[in-house]
């Protein structure tokens, strides 16, 4: 604790950037240590939504983004869990996944998007004239 008092005692004007990054985690931990209240985990299942006032629905339409898309397959959940344990450069990941999607589908390349609207924006952007793409309001991707 004396390290934190020493660090805070320096004042903002005499504090170096190195000191700030070296000790900021300690200051945050000290601030939370005495006041941290345990937070109850959200219940599993439909209760997780009901706990915040959202009513689960039964999907009688089709795969629609507005009602959560589709249920995630167990093998996809396992892959997501495995991937969440590592950090990678997203440009490298997108390139590798695009290549693999191309191999699987017979296409030249593939692209994973966050939904239908994003896919349409990515697909149509290259068709716009260069001058239009440079405009600030023409196509925000």
Q: Following DSSP, what letter does each residue of 74-110 receive, concatenated?
A: HHHHHHHHHHTTS---HHHHHHHHHHHHHHHHTSS--
**What is the C-alpha to C-alpha distance for residues 81 and 74, in angstroms, rounded to an integer?**
10
Confidence (pLDDT) at 1: 46
Query: Is 28 inside a domain boundary?
Result: yes
User: In what helix (H) or strand (E) does residue 2 lie, and over which residues does it extend?
Assistant: helix 2-9
- Position 110 pLDDT exceeds 80: yes
Q: Alpha-carbon distance 32 to 36, whole Å?
A: 5
Tens digit of each residue's pLDDT (9 = 90 or more) over 9-56: 555 445 566 665 566 665 555 555 555 555 566 556 678 889 999 998
- The DSSP line for 36-81 is PPP-PPPPSTTHHHHTTT-------S-SBGGGTB-PPPHHHHHHHH
Structurally, the chain folds into a number of domains equal to 1
Residue given tokens 């915040």 in the structure block: 52
What is the pTM assigned to this prediction?
0.48
**113 is a domain residue:** no
Host domain of residue 6: 2-33
DSSP, collapsed to helix, strand or coil, labels residue 1 as: coil
Mean pLDDT of 53-71: 83
Of residues 132 and 47, more confidence is placed in 47
What pLDDT score does 86 carry? 96
Is residue 83 assigned to a domain?
no
């Amino acid at each position: 604790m004396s390290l934190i008092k020493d660090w805070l005692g320096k004042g903002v004007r005499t504090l170096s950037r190195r000191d700030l990054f070296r000790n900021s985690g300690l200051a945050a931990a000290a601030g939370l240590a005495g006041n941290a209240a345990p937070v109850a985990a959200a219940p599993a299942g439909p209760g997780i939504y009901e706990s915040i006032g959202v009513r689960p629905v039964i999907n009688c339409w089709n795969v629609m983004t507005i009602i959560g898309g589709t249920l995630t397959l167990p093998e996809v959940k396992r892959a997501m869990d495995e991937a969440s344990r590592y950090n990678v450069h997203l440009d490298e990941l997108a390139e590798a996944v695009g290549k693999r999607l191309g191999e699987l589908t017979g296409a030249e390349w593939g692209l994973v998007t966050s939904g239908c609207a994003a896919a349409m924006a990515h697909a149509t952007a290259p068709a716009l004239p260069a001058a239009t793409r440079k405009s600030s309001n023409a196509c925000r991707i």
